[in-house]
Amino acid sequence: MNRSSLAVLMLTLSGLLVSCDNFRENKLLITAHVQSDAIEHPSEIMRLPIGGQEMRFKKIPEFSQRSISGFEPFPAEDGQSYGVLLQLDTKGRNSLELASRMSHGMAMLTMVNALPVDMVELDQPITDGRFTIWRGLSKETIDKMDKFYPRIKYMKSSSRWMDMLPSTDKEKLNSRRVAKEAEAAEKAAARAKERGALPPAPKTKDIPLEGYKLPGT
pLDDT in tens, 54-76: 999 999 999 999 999 999 999 99
**Res. 14: pLDDT tops 60:** no
Instruction: Name the pLDDT band for 1 (thresholds 50, 70, 90).
Output: very low
* pLDDT at position 67: 93
pTM of the model: 0.69
Does residue 169 sit within a domain?
no
Identify the weakest region by mean pLDDT among 56-60, 155-159, 193-197. Answer: 155-159
Q: How far is CA 91 from the centre of its chain?
A: 13
**Res. 192: pLDDT tops 80:** no
Mean of the per-residue pLDDT values of the chain: 80
pLDDT (average), residues 153-178: 67
Does residue 18 sit within a domain?
no
Q: How many domains does the chain have?
A: 1
Residue closest to 166 by CA, chosen among 96, 88, 100, 102: 88
Bigger pLDDT: 110 vs 191: 110
pLDDT (average), residues 201-206: 59
Residue closest to 132 by CA, chosen among 55, 49, 76: 76
Does residue 5 sit within a domain?
no
* pLDDT at position 127: 95
**Res. 211: pLDDT tops 50:** yes
Q: Rounded distance, CA 90 to CA 164, Å?
A: 9
* pLDDT at position 185: 75
Does residue 168 sit within a domain?
no
Domain range enclosing 114:
25-153
**Res. 106: pLDDT tops 80:** yes
Does residue 108 sit within a domain?
yes
* pLDDT at position 164: 63
**What is the domain-level CATH number for residue 65?**
3.30.1360.200
Contact 31, 64 (CB under 8 A): yes
Q: Rounded distance, CA 196 to CA 43, Å?
A: 64
Does residue 144 sit within a domain?
yes
CB atoms within 10 A of CB 173: 16
Does residue 67 sit within a domain?
yes
Instruction: Name the pLDDT band for 9 (thresholds 50, 70, 90).
Output: very low
Q: Rounded distance, CA 78 to CA 76, Å?
A: 5
Helix or strand or coil: residue 163? Answer: coil
For 16-77, the DSSP string reads HHHHHHHT------EEEEEBP-TTS-GGGEEEEEETTEEEEEESS-SEEGGGEEEEEEEE-T
* pLDDT at position 153: 84
For 92-103, the DSSP string reads HHHHHHHHHHHT
**Res. 17: pLDDT tops 70:** no
* pLDDT at position 188: 76
Q: Give the residue ranges of DSSP H helices in the chain.
A: 3-22, 90-102, 139-148, 169-195
**Res. 6: pLDDT tops 50:** no
Does residue 194 sit within a domain?
no
